[in-house]
Structure 1
Amino acid sequence: MQDHSSKALQRARKLRSTMSLPEVLLWNRLRGNPMGVKFRKQHPLGDYVIDFFRASKRIAVEIDGIAHDRGNRPMRDSSRDAWLRRQGVEVLRIPAAEVLRDVAAVADAVVRYCADPPPPSAAGAAATSPRGGGFLGVTG
């Protein structure tokens, strides 16, 4: 059974070739299965496309640029996150500025959080980060 719409699949294919700079920088760190953690980029799920997806743990990693703070985007993101949670997907939101500031630290935190099982320090990093879940922005 297909877990995504054909529209989402088409959008994912297009987004894979037009990723933002923060997405490209982070993908370059995540693409080689660091610590044995496999990520998919621009993964379709339902009617949505997830920036990075850890399928075996059902964790979505979203990179949020400033557009996510404007207009109806916060409400759309909230609805999207709620739908993903109902599908059993945890959502990590990371501000694009954090990726640009220190991509290595962000990649390390994401990989540790998504590892099997996550190291104890990963949970602490998420709980103590400044953006209601730290730069990992856990919403799931």
Structure 2
Amino acid sequence: MKKARADRKQMSFPEVLLWQQLRKEPDGFRFRRQNPQIGYLTLRIPAVEILKDLGAVITGLVVACRERGPLHRPSDGPPPRSGEEF
């Protein structure tokens, strides 16, 4: 976990550019940095692509998110109690 925390603090220039845009929640999508305790859908983007055309990278991420669909179900109330799954 210490390594993940250190990696988040020491971002490369392309990572800084990318996260500046992702914090703006493009098309309403929220992005999170990796956390070793939580599973995520991970997309690898070469730094050269970010430097070459950041707008296209953001558009590609939004398209990928739309195709994937929501990662959670909208809440219709409190979550089910343990053992009462759907």
Alignment TM-score > 0.5, same fold: yes
Answer yes or no: is 1:113 the counterpart of 2:46: no
Question: What pairs with 1:81-100 in structure 2 (closer than 5 Å)?
Answer: 92-100=43-51
**Partners of 1:27 and 1:111 in 2: how far apart?**
14
Aligned to 1:10: 2
Question: SS at 2:35's partner residue?
Answer: strand
1:117 maps to amino acid = G
User: Which of 3, 22, 30 lines up with 2:14 in the alignment?
Assistant: 22
Could you tell me how far apart the structure 2 residues matched to 1:45 and 1:16 are?
12
Equivalent pairs, count: 69
**Runs of at least 4 residues of structure 1 off by over 2 A?**
115-118
Bigger proportion of residues as strand: 1
State whether residues 4 and 36 of structure 2, in contact with CA within 8 Å, keep that contact through their aligned partners in structure 1.
no
Tell me which amino acid in the other structure corresponds to 1:111: V
Among residues 23, 26, 42, which one is paired with 1:31 in the alignment? 23
- Where does the alignment leave 5 or more consecutive residues of structure 2 unmatched? 71-86
Alignment RMSD (CA, Å): 2.4
Query: TM-score, normalization: structure 2?
Result: 0.65
What TM-score comes out, normalization by structure 1 length? Answer: 0.43
Measure the CA separation in 2 of the matches of 1:37 and 1:108. Answer: 12
Matched with 1:45 is 36
Q: Bigger radius of gyration, 1 or 2? A: 2
- Greater RCO (CA < 8 Å, at least 6 residues apart): 2
Aligned letter for 2:28? Answer: G
Residue correspondence of structure 1 range 61-140 to structure 2 within 5 A: 92-115=43-66, 117=69
Structure with bigger helix share is: 1
Deviation at 1:26, TM superposition (A): 0.8
